[in-house]
Amino acid sequence: MSLLELDGVKVHFPVKKGILFDRTVGHVYAVDGISLSVEAGQTYGLVGESGCGKTTLGRAVLRLVDVTDGRVVLDGTDVAQLPEKEMRSFRRRLQMVFQDPLGSLNPRQNIESILSEGMAAHGIGGNREERREKIKEILAKVGLPGNALSRYPHEFSGGQRQRIGIARALVLEPDLIICDEPVSALDVSIQAQVVNLLEELQKSMGLTYLVIAHDLAVVRHISDVIGVMYLGSLVEEAPSDALYEEPRHPYTRALMSAVPVPDPEVEDRRERILLLGDLPSPANPPAGCRFHTRCPWKQDTRCATERPELRDLGGGHRVACHFAAEIASGEITRTSGEVVPAAHEGSGGSGGSEASGAPRASGASGGGAAKGSSSGERASEAPAGT
Amino acid sequence: MSLATTKTSKIDRLAELTAKKETSSGASLWREAFRRLRGSKMAIIGAVVIAAFVVVAIVGPWLAPYSPTAQTWRGEVLANQGEFVGARGENWFGLDHLGRDMFSRMLVGARQTLLVGVVSMLIGLVLGALVGAVSGAAATLGGRAGQRLDDVVMRVTDIMLALPSLLLAVSIAAVLGQSLTTVMIAVGVVQIPIFARLLRGSMLAQGGKDYVLAARSLGIRKRRIVLTQIMPNSLSPVIVQATLSLATAIIEAAALSYLGLGNPDPAIPEWGVMLSQAQRFFDNAPMMSMYPAVAIIITALGFTLLGEAMREALDPKLRG
């Protein structure tokens, strides 16, 4: 049995309006029916562009936001249904590493106080001395010296702070750690350091991770299974390598086409699928397939009316697209959208008229899940090259 | 991935690198703010003014050369005919309209003025912080019921804020009758919504920070999160506001005294009362109003300077 199982999890935020007292006028469907499972000792990567609900999903698992519907089962216990009091002691088994290393540490607490607080709340380590020993042990594991104890968060660098955040999660010896964009706020050189540390800790302590990120390279490196989210739901889920080698959902294909390839010859031939339009508002999601408004393979039947379920296409590769098989076999070709050679990306007027400039820009932001790595650099270099 | 190999030694190396840079033994934010405060000219001037004011307030009665209430030179002042006595060797600040030594009255009056300022600021601070803390805690961690409570509390403070502060103080003074306590309560009550709003807003801002989420995911009790995580980080604007409102409290108390709602016994000197009495003789003896007025202004300025310097010292964005 899997360590963590999500079954039809929904998180809807009420939209309120009112002069004196607020009235609910609608909902933001941040997470809208997600089912997935994370195996013990493995890493599940969750990717998607900003606003797709991946952070909310992570918080729902920790019950930092209330789950509207569905079940979040950790090791046989439904976290979403636990009474407040039991939930508090259950939190020991679920921990989180945050995106902003400085913001996630209380600036007025020193490191010892930050790390011992959780232990005190759960009665781990009888007295101060025992706790201090344990903290020193954990600090050594994340590569911080014992004399860090009396120092304050602002005295550390970004990477060091993130390692403190990881240490805070580790002191409670959790089963599952949710890493919400664990490296996106760090320099690239430090990113590798932290990712390697996470992997090392997983091996030595048998941890299970749910990694939420938008950086496809990081996710591929660290994950065993990857889920791709779009507008509050999962569109594709597959073992890491399978997803990168053969993305089956149109959205995933567009995302993957934004990832640069290290081989210059392949890179020259790489084609970029540009998505049209913006991410629709999660307060008013499109009917049918959530992606049909931007899908380059959109069909006249089913897409706009029927919401696709995740279907297993073999080998644990699950896709939520009515026509995934047909697209893969080439029976269906693109009906809209634009494909440009990646090498010309960002070079202004090369691919079309002025009018196509706007959708292209938003198409690039659709592929923004891959931002950071190198598409930005390419864009700035391209004009010089042409 | 060659990066993934020989990691244990790498982690030790990390610890070494971090240890090498170790110089300080850890300075808390408060200590650092204090260090920066000492380097600020504004803070030093403000602190010196306040210190002088406090010293005078404490030892004033013993420094005063004459009794502040005895009408020793009554015969020399004919207020009705516009005959006053200005500064002279015997009486440095001259005499007031009843023939009392102005200098002695100023020295002794400092204590009353400080008392009014501090007590009414404390009334506003304590009650306001209480209301703000309840409201802020309810709004951040109290769930749906907490937000309702916060809504109600904030609407009430909005109503209080909507009334002009002096008008509110006058109404309170009118209801409670004429006394020094009334002035302190009236001026203090006016400050309550300001402190409440400030602390609540600050707590809401802190409540949304990741470290509060982190504390929640650690399973720390909500009450403890409010007290150890949210509160210490929300207090700095409130402390700054406290020093600033000390200045306004002194001025407002003086205004109430001036309107005749202060201490019913005019024999006890207080700067605000002295100013209000001197006002009647402003045409013939302008210096009589000048001394208490300038003293109030300088004191208020001292508190304002220190408050502003503290705001800068406590601002995390300016931390360097």
Token digits of residue A124: 């781990």
- Per-residue confidence (pLDDT) for residue A383, from 0 to 100: 37
Burial degree of B123 (CB within 10 A; 0-12, 13-18, 19+):
buried
A174 plus A286 within the same structural domain: no
Residue with tokens 């982690």: B11
Other C-beta atoms closer than 10 Å to the C-beta of B6 total: 9
Other C-beta atoms closer than 10 Å to the C-beta of A271 total: 12
Residues with Cβ within 8 Å of residue A77, at least 6 apart in sequence: A90
Query: Averaged over B1-26, what is the pLDDT?
Result: 58
Is residue B307 within 8 Å of residue B238, measured between CB atoms? no
B220 to chain A: closest CA residue: A121
- Per-residue confidence (pLDDT) for residue A177, from 0 to 100: 95
pLDDT for A355 beyond 80: no
Q: How many structural domains is chain A composed of? A: 2
Provide the chain A residues 63-122 that lie in CB contact (below 8 A) with chain B: 64, 88-92, 94-96, 98-100, 103-110, 117-118, 121-122
A189 plus A272 within the same structural domain: no
Backbone φ and ψ for B191, nearest 5 degrees, come out as: -80, -20
Instruction: Indicate the range of A283-292, B90-99, B140-149 predicted with least confidence.
Output: B90-99
Using CA atoms, how far residue A358 sits from A74, A99, A187, in Å, is: 45, 31, 30
Between CA A342 and CA A260 the distance in angstroms is 8
pLDDT for A365 beyond 50: no
Q: Which stretches within chain A are classed as H helix? A: 54-61, 84-90, 111-122, 128-141, 158-170, 188-205, 216-222, 240-245, 250-256, 264-269, 324-329, 357-366, 375-385
A240 lies within 8 A of chain B by CB: no
A160 plus A199 within the same structural domain: yes
The confidence band for A234, taking pLDDT boundaries of 50, 70 and 90, is very high
A221 to chain B: closest CA residue: B1
A257 plus A214 within the same structural domain: no
Backbone φ and ψ for A299, nearest 5 degrees, come out as: -105, 160
A386 lies within 8 A of chain B by CB: no
Other C-beta atoms closer than 10 Å to the C-beta of A110 total: 19
For A121, the closest of B4, B213, B220 (CB atoms) is B220
Other C-beta atoms closer than 10 Å to the C-beta of A172 total: 21
Using CA atoms, how far residue A278 sits from A27, A160, A231, B120, B238, in Å, is: 20, 37, 11, 56, 43
- What does the radius of gyration of chain B's CA atoms come to, in whole angstroms? 26
Query: Averaged over A109-121, what is the pLDDT?
Result: 89
A92 plus A36 within the same structural domain: yes
- Chain B interface test: which of A109, A113, A122 (most B C-beta within 10 Å): A109
Residues with Cβ within 8 Å of residue B223, at least 6 apart in sequence: none
A155 to chain B: closest CA residue: B26
A185 plus A307 within the same structural domain: no
B26-64 in b/e burial notation, b at 16+ Cβ within 10 A? Answer: bbbbeebbeebbeebebbeebbebbeebbebbeebeeeb
Residue A251: inside a domain, yes or no? yes
pLDDT for B318 beyond 60: no
- B11/A142 CB distance under 8 A: yes
A192 lies within 8 A of chain B by CB: yes
Token digits of residue A13: 């935020």
Residue A22: inside a domain, yes or no? no
pLDDT for B16 beyond 80: no
pLDDT for B315 beyond 90: no
CATH number reported for the structural domain that contains residue A151 in this entry: 3.40.50.300
Residues with Cβ within 8 Å of residue B233, at least 6 apart in sequence: A106, A107, A108, B206, B209
The confidence band for B281, taking pLDDT boundaries of 50, 70 and 90, is confident
A47 plus A184 within the same structural domain: yes
Three-class SS of residue A104?
coil
Cβ-based contacts of B145 with chain A (< 8 Å): none
A120 to chain B: closest CA residue: B220
For A106, the closest of B4, B25, B211 (CB atoms) is B211
Please tell me which residue, A345 or B252, carries the higher pLDDT value. Answer: B252
pLDDT for B195 beyond 90: yes
- B10/A143 CB distance under 8 A: yes
Between CA B267 and CA B18 the distance in angstroms is 68
Cβ-based contacts of B9 with chain A (< 8 Å): none
- A140/B28 CB distance under 8 A: no
pLDDT for B134 beyond 90: yes
Task: Tell me the nearest-neighbour CA distance from A327 into chain B, angstroms.
Answer: 33
Token digits of residue A313: 């296409």
Between CA A274 and CA A293 the distance in angstroms is 13
A146 plus A263 within the same structural domain: no
Residue A352: inside a domain, yes or no? yes
Other C-beta atoms closer than 10 Å to the C-beta of A281 total: 12
Cβ-based contacts of B224 with chain A (< 8 Å): 121
Of all helices (H) and strands (E), which one includes residue B148? helix B143-162
- Per-residue confidence (pLDDT) for residue A110, from 0 to 100: 87
A301 plus A199 within the same structural domain: no
Give helix B29-38 / helix B41-63 axis angle, nearest 10°. Answer: 80
Q: What is the pLDDT of residues B221-266, one digit of tens each?
A: 889 999 888 988 888 888 888 887 887 887 788 788 777 777 667 6
Tell me the one-letter amino acid at B186: A
Enter the CATH code of domain B31-318. Answer: 1.10.3720.10
- B28/A110 CB distance under 8 A: yes
B35 lies within 8 A of chain A by CB: no
A148 lies within 8 A of chain B by CB: yes
Cβ-based contacts of A104 with chain B (< 8 Å): 209-211, 213-214
Between CA B293 and CA B113 the distance in angstroms is 12
Is residue A9 within 8 Å of residue A57, measured between CB atoms? yes
- A143/B1 CB distance under 8 A: no
Token digits of residue B262: 């202060």
Query: Averaged over A193-211, what is the pLDDT?
Result: 92
Phi-psi region of A274 (alpha: psi -120 to 50; beta: other; left: phi over 0): beta
Look up residue A40 and give its DSSP letter: T
Please tell me which residue, B46 or B174, carries the higher pLDDT value. Answer: B46
Other C-beta atoms closer than 10 Å to the C-beta of A40 total: 14
In degrees, to the nearest 5, what angle opens at C-alpha B313 toward C-alphas B309 and B315? 115
Dihedral angle over CA of A22, A28, A29, A30, nearest 10:
-110
A145 lies within 8 A of chain B by CB: yes
Enclosing domain of residue A141: 4-16+27-223
For A107, the closest of B7, B29, B220 (CB atoms) is B29
Three-class SS of residue B267?
coil
- B18/A99 CB distance under 8 A: no
Domain ranges of chain B: 31-318
The confidence band for A350, taking pLDDT boundaries of 50, 70 and 90, is very low
B283 lies within 8 A of chain A by CB: no
Residues with Cβ within 8 Å of residue A236, at least 6 apart in sequence: A227, A228, A243, A247, A248, A249, A251, A252, A317, A318, A319, A320, A321
Between CA B271 and CA B252 the distance in angstroms is 12
A154 to chain B: closest CA residue: B29
Residue A112: inside a domain, yes or no? yes
Residue A117: inside a domain, yes or no? yes
Residue A335: inside a domain, yes or no? yes
Is residue A175 within 8 Å of residue A3, measured between CB atoms? yes
Residue A237: inside a domain, yes or no? no
- A98/B210 CB distance under 8 A: yes
Q: What is the pLDDT of residues A323-334, one digit of tens each?
A: 888 888 878 877
For A196, the closest of B7, B22, B151 (CB atoms) is B7
Between CA A41 and CA A175 the distance in angstroms is 9
A257 plus A168 within the same structural domain: no
Between CA A203 and CA A185 the distance in angstroms is 24
- B211/A104 CB distance under 8 A: yes
Is residue A220 within 8 Å of residue A226, measured between CB atoms? yes
A45 plus A179 within the same structural domain: yes
Which residues pair with residue A281 across a beta bridge? none
Token digits of residue B317: 């964005």
Dihedral angle over CA of A375, A380, A383, A386, nearest 10:
-50
Residue A238: inside a domain, yes or no? no
Residue with tokens 């990477």: A159
B216 to chain A: closest CA residue: A64
Please tell me which residue, B266 or A206, carries the higher pLDDT value. Answer: A206
B229 lies within 8 A of chain A by CB: yes
Is residue B3 within 8 Å of residue A132, measured between CB atoms? no
B265 lies within 8 A of chain A by CB: no
A182 plus A283 within the same structural domain: no
